[in-house]
């Protein structure tokens, strides 16, 4: 039985959907004002694997991942660039989708945009006001009264007094309490007109937190089976979602709360605020991506390497980013593909009774333990290399496919250049396929003429250029870029 670590109860719990056989999962998505970085990639890939395993387990999944398309950061970007809000968000939504395609992230079943749910947000705010949980401030904003919600702090595990002592929330003039947060922001004269919506409280726009409460309730109903997001959303975003939704409707917002771990750069979390981030497109694009264009061409070998790099760690664990760690991930993924290149997999489908498939399933049912599932893949690769069993290679490919890995043609994958190897940029990229094939033919001709010195020289030159040949009694049968 699947067990998931629930952030709220701080324990692994057996997963039992509200409706048997169906999972309603909501994950907080991107605020689309800039390109996605590798920390975002971890969230995108992590929850993609979660929904893949739920489906592989025979469950029907209704997966919602929202887009925040109205926010202070988006407004600043629009003002700085002289573009309308919709132009800014459309560009970065397209850029995010390009990243997802490159990483093999399957689209969610629903991808709501906050601006399409303003009415749902105003409905919740009205309910909160009726229950004494929201008030109109002198500055025109509508705020949530945190001290009127007794359970506030239960997700983060902090009391109201602890939170206030930590001075985690900036004090605004219209707030009754420093911890109160905005539900509806009154429009300001200097703000663009396309950031203002009519409401019972005057023209304005929603606060960030109310957006997810409205979209999750509207599309999935209550309670959610799973609510997920990045590590920095636990407080205050998810804490505030609980206060809003449970305050308005009673009951619980979600039965299971999931948070992926941070992507670290040394001792700090990768983030735009610390300016220590690297974008997805910078990491996996063929050449330098044109930042004037949302789309780009990815290097398929490097893109799958990045997915593998993320998947090899348990989703809740902190993960450290260094160039050397990407190189290590590239080398490890190459070994799995080499096994499939050595032994062509059969296509008979998964045999769940096979020992490594059982180990894979046990790992994934233990809070989506992808690091344990990866161990089963490497055991199968070793067995395929040792025995030459097409059935074993087929098991390897099929199980890896659940994680979104090993679905490329092995020969095409291994012949693609990669920057992620010791020494930096791969010298093999300087030789195109036609040049390599010509050198291999020249080597074969030298061997036929018994000029073994020339044959050895060509092999050494190819090796120096990062090309490894696979020789068998009949000659060179394959080659790959190291």
Q: Which two tokens stand for residue 373?
A: 């599932």
- Say whether 3 counts as a known binding-site residue: no
Cα gap 217→96, rounded to integer Å: 25
- Say whether 260 counts as a known binding-site residue: no
* Cis preceding-peptide flag for 124 (omega within 30 of 0): no
Q: Which two tokens stand for residue 395?
A: 């098991």
- Say whether 191 counts as a known binding-site residue: no
DSSP 31: B
Cα gap 86→195, rounded to integer Å: 10
- Say whether 36 counts as a known binding-site residue: no
| Sequential DSSP letters for 124-140 | HHHHHHHTTSEEE-TTS
- Say whether 237 counts as a known binding-site residue: yes
Contact criterion met (CB below 8 Å) for 228 and 26: yes
Cα gap 297→302, rounded to integer Å: 12
**N- to C-terminal Cα distance for the chain?**
41
Q: Which two tokens stand for residue 397?
A: 């490919």
What is the SS3 assignment for 345? coil
Cα gap 239→60, rounded to integer Å: 28
Contacts of 5 (CB under 8 A, 6+ apart): 11, 12, 13, 258, 316, 367
Q: Which residues are annotated as part of the binding site?
A: 28, 212, 237, 241, 272
Q: Which residues are annotated as part of the binding site for ATP?
A: 272
Q: Which residues are annotated as part of the binding site for Zn(2+)?
A: 28, 212, 237, 241
């Amino acid at each position: 039985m699947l067990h998931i670590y629930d952030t709220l109860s701080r324990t692994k719990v057996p997963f039992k959907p509200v409706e048997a056989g169906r999972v309603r999962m909501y994950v907080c998505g991107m605020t689309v004002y800039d390109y996605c970085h590798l920390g975002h990639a971890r969230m995108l890939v992590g929850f993609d694997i979660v929904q893949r395993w739920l489906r592989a387990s025979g469950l029907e999944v209704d997966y919602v991942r929202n887009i925040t398309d109205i926010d202070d950061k988006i407004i600043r970007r629009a003002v700085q660039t002289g573009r309308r809000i919709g132009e800014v968000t459309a560009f970065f939504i397209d850029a995010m989708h390009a990243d997802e395609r490159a990483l093999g992230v399957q689209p969610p079943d629903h991808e709501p945009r906050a601006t399409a749910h303003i009415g749902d947000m105003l409905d919740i705010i009205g309910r909160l006001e009726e229950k004494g949980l929201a008030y109109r401030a002198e500055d025109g904003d509508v705020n949530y009264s945190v001290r009127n919600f007794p359970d506030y702090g239960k997700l983060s595990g902090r009391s109201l007094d602890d939170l206030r002592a930590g001075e985690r929330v900036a004090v605004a003039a219209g707030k009754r309490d420093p911890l109160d947060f905005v539900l509806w922001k009154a429009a300001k004269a200097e703000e663009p007109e396309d950031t203002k919506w009519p409401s019972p409280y005057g023209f304005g726009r929603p606060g960030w937190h109310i957006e997810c409460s409205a979209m999750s309730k509207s599309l999935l109903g209550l309670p959610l089976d799973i609510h997920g997001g990045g590590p920095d959303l636990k407080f205050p975003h998810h804490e505030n979602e609980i206060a809003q939704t449970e305050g308005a409707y009673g009951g619980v917002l979600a039965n299971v709360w999931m948070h992926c771990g941070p992507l670290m750069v040394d001792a700090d979390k990768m983030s735009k605020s610390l300016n220590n981030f690297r974008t997805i497109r910078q990491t996996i694009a063929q050449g330098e991506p044109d930042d004037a264009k949302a789309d780009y061409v990815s290097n398929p070998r490097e893109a799958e390497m990045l997915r593998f790099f993320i998947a090899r760690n348990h989703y809740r664990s902190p993960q450290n980013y260094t160039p050397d760690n990407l190189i290590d991930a590239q080398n490890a993924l190459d070994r799995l593909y080499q096994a499939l290149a050595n032994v062509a997999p059969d296509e008979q489908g998964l045999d769940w009774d096979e020992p490594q498939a059982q180990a894979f399933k046990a790992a994934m049912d233990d809070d989506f333990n992808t690091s344990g599932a990866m161990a089963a893949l490497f055991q199968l690769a070793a067995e395929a290399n040792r025995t030459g069993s097409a059935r074993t290679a087929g098991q390897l490919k099929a199980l890896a496919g659940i994680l979104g890995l090993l679905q490329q043609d092995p020969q095409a994958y291994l012949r693609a250049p990669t920057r992620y190897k010791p020494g930096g940029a791969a010298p093999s990229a300087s030789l195109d396929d036609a040049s390599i094939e010509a050198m291999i033919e020249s080597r074969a001709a030298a061997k036929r003429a018994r000029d073994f010195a020339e044959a050895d020289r060509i092999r050494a030159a190819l090796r120096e250029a990062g090309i490894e040949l696979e020789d068998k009694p009949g000659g060179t049968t394959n080659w790959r870029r190291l």
